[in-house]
């Protein structure tokens, strides 16, 4: 189940298979070697306050995993981070209570969007990073996983804006959405127990470790692709500095084979992905 705003819906691309939902679903199907049914409920222009109705539509379908990407419109509409996070936390809480895994892509860095001039650019960057850190903490506290999406509009996009930004210079291009999906796919696989055996425990040489949640959230905002999830230390979920979390830098997975038009025509799973993603 895919929920959120225009970034989740893949606004601006020409073909449904270029949307984040289709990329993630096909990547999951390839690596898990299973059919995947995707339902996209993301709404272009949605703010965090709009997550409630999306969750209402999602829960009766009993999804295995919900992917949420939200926050950019909260920043552009100057919504208080505390208000935004309250809505996200409630969405994660409802999914987890229903036994559904949750992966949240946190608010991207809006400071690299070309149409935003200084000093608004610096304000947008500060606001989006603060919201991303708060989203991270709220998601982990509600037993979800967060993935930093800073690079969706961050350094890689700043270095190649013509390639990775779409025509409106605000939303990603097809290549940009592909990078976004590549960041989230390893965490999606892990949420469903489909990660490789050698990645089940943190790897110190990759900078992976256990930290208090506030410290980990700040580091995650600085390092795109960082995943945070709750853990225990000596049987305790909390220490003197709050919730314990695992900070992970999972390896990106090679993309699975893309279905061509003829293959999609005869593949019920591919048709389901195309129809539902188009509805988003």
pLDDT of residue 117: 58
pLDDT of residue 270: 40
- pTM, 2 dp: 0.83
Catalytic positions: 6, 168, 171
pLDDT of residue 258: 46
pLDDT of residue 125: 80
pLDDT of residue 168: 52
Residue that has been written with the tokens 């997975």 in this structure: 253
The low-confidence residues of the chain, meaning pLDDT below 50, are: 257-280
List Cα–Cα distances, 109 to 21, 71, 77, 148, 271, in angstroms: 21, 10, 15, 10, 33
Environment class of residue 200 by beta-carbon count within 10 Å: exposed (0-12), middle (13-18) or buried (19+)?
A: exposed
How far apart CA 67 and CA 29 sit, in angstroms, is 15
How far apart CA 62 and CA 215 sit, in angstroms, is 34
pLDDT of residue 101: 98
pLDDT of residue 97: 98
pLDDT of residue 13: 86
Token pair in block for residue 152: 């969706």
pLDDT of residue 260: 39
């Amino acid at each position: 189940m895919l929920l959120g705003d225009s970034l989740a819906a893949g606004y601006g691309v020409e073909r449904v298979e270029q949307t984040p939902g289709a990329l993630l679903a096909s990547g999951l199907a390839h690596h898990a070697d299973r059919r995947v049914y995707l339902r996209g409920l993301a709404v272009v222009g949605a703010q965090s306050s709009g997550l409630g109705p999306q969750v209402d539509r999602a829960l009766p379908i009993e999804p295995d995993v919900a992917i949420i990407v939200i926050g950019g419109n909260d920043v552009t509409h100057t919504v208080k981070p505390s208000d935004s996070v309250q809505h996200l936390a409630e969405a994660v809480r409802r999914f987890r209570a229903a036994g559904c895994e949750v992966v949240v892509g946190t608010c991207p860095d809006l400071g690299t969007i070309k149409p935003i001039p200084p000093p608004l650019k610096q304000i947008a960057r500060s606001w989006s990073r603060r919201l991303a850190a708060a989203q991270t903490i709220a998601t982990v506290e509600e037993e979800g996983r967060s993935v930093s999406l800073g690079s969706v509009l961050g350094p890689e996009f700043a270095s190649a804006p013509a390639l990775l930004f779409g025509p409106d210079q605000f939303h990603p291009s097809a290549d940009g959405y592909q990078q976004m999906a590549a960041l989230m796919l390893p965490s999606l696989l892990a949420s469903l127990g489909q990660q490789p055996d050698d990645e089940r425990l943190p790897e110190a040489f990759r900078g992976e470790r256990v930290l208090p949640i506030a410290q980990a959230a700040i580091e995650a905002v600085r390092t795109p692709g960082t995943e945070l999830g709750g853990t225990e230390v000596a049987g305790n979920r909390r220490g003197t500095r709050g919730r314990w979390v695992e900070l992970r830098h999972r390896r990106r997975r090679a993309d699975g084979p893309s279905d061509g038009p003829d293959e999609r025509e005869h593949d019920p799973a591919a048709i389901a992905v195309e129809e539902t993603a188009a509805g988003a």
